[in-house]
Amino acid sequence: MMSDREQIYELYVRYAFAIDARRYEEWIGYFTDGGVFDSSRLGRFEGREQLRRFTETYERAREGGQTRHVLSNFNVEVAGDVANGACYLNLYLTKNGKTEMIGVGTYEDRLRKVGSRWLFESRKVVTDR
């Protein structure tokens, strides 16, 4: 059985793979019902319907390209059924055979254990300027 910390790391990885593969309903499922995604570039989205709207905005922003979220330097503090987490984010976009880094920053997270699953209660993207 995985520890809480290992389950949270697995959540981070699944989140990145889901959004990069355009599995948006799966991506939404990694948030609590009232979950918040807050992007310094694309805005704040709260709850499942707004998260769906985010995926539409995100899809348009990709302009048909392929993204890759590369996460590192995980820092997670678990206290019972809640946790605070953070990690570095490098975001790449490949389009027309050319790959470029389009964002560098951090994720700042509040997580909650719902049943046996860890989910994002809030996830904030802070891009370097």
Can you list the domains of the chain with their CATH numbers? 4-127 (3.10.450.50)
Of the candidates 103, 108, 109, 102, the one whose C-alpha atom is nearest the C-alpha of residue 32 is 109
Q: What is the pLDDT of residues 24-69, one digit of tens each?
A: 999 999 999 999 999 988 999 999 999 999 999 999 998 899 999 9
DSSP state of 98: E
Taking Cα atoms as reference points, which of 105, 31, 108, 106 lies closest to residue 77? 108
The pLDDT assigned to 22 comes to 97
